[in-house]
Amino acid sequence: MALALLAVLVVMLIVTANIPVTLFILICIALVDFFLLGLLFYWNVTLNSVTVVNNVIAIGLAVDYSAHIGHSFLMIDPPSHDEAGKETTDHEKRVFKARGALASMGASVFHGAFSTFLAIIVLGPSTSYIFKSFFKMWFGIIIFGVAHGFLLLPVLLALCGPLNKVGKMKALKDKDKDNENSGQIDTEKKLNDNNIIEMKDGNSI
């Protein structure tokens, strides 16, 4: 389980390139696994090879419900002034980014969780111990994963999320693209000029 969390930490650092957001996502995933163990106790499910494997799988599944929200939070650029013309505070910017993240990715994450729930609901009435354990654990993964991705993570991001400047990053990327395009145009002009000179020299000979 610790190795799985470490792998999530490394991958999320690469994807988000932001330490605070990665730590918030990691906290949500760890809490999902912790609450899942509590659910097993109250649902009279014993720890065995089936439940332990599903508990490790839960780490990978819980990433889906939090990572998209965290990444979307980083991609939103908050306004510097509100509708009244007043300068927005850092807290207002974070709240704006958290709301925007839920608005842009909330529906997609919810649809993914609901489709997964429809896929495992047929296992509920089963009399097989493996199928019953599988249903109970995946039920907890979906409920806790969505709850942490939709409730806990946006609150953490709204309270102390990073205020990255997405607009500046986009401007720098656009500048790099313009420089590359201008460099390609210059090289093409030089090649055309050289070809014209060569053709003139050939005709004169």
Residue 151 has pLDDT above 80, yes or no: yes
Residue 6 has pLDDT above 80, yes or no: yes
Output 2 or 148, whichever has higher pLDDT: 148
pTM of the model: 0.75
Q: What is the band of 166 on the pLDDT scale with cuts at 50, 70, 90?
A: low
DSSP 132-198: HHHHHHHHHHHHHHHHIIIIIHHHHHHHH-----HHHHHHHHHHHHHHHHHHHHHHHHHHHHHHHHH
Residue pLDDT, tens place only, 168-188:
544 445 555 556 555 555 555
The CATH H-level superfamily of 2-164 is: Multidrug efflux transporter AcrB transmembrane domain (1.20.1640.10)
Output 15 or 197, whichever has higher pLDDT: 15
| Per-residue model confidence (pLDDT) at position 126 | 85
Residue 167 has pLDDT above 60, yes or no: no
Average pLDDT, whole number, for the chain?
A: 81
Beta-carbon contacts of residue 58 (< 8 Å; ≥ 6 apart) = 32, 33, 36, 137, 140, 141, 145
C-alpha span between 70 and 102 (Å, rounded): 9
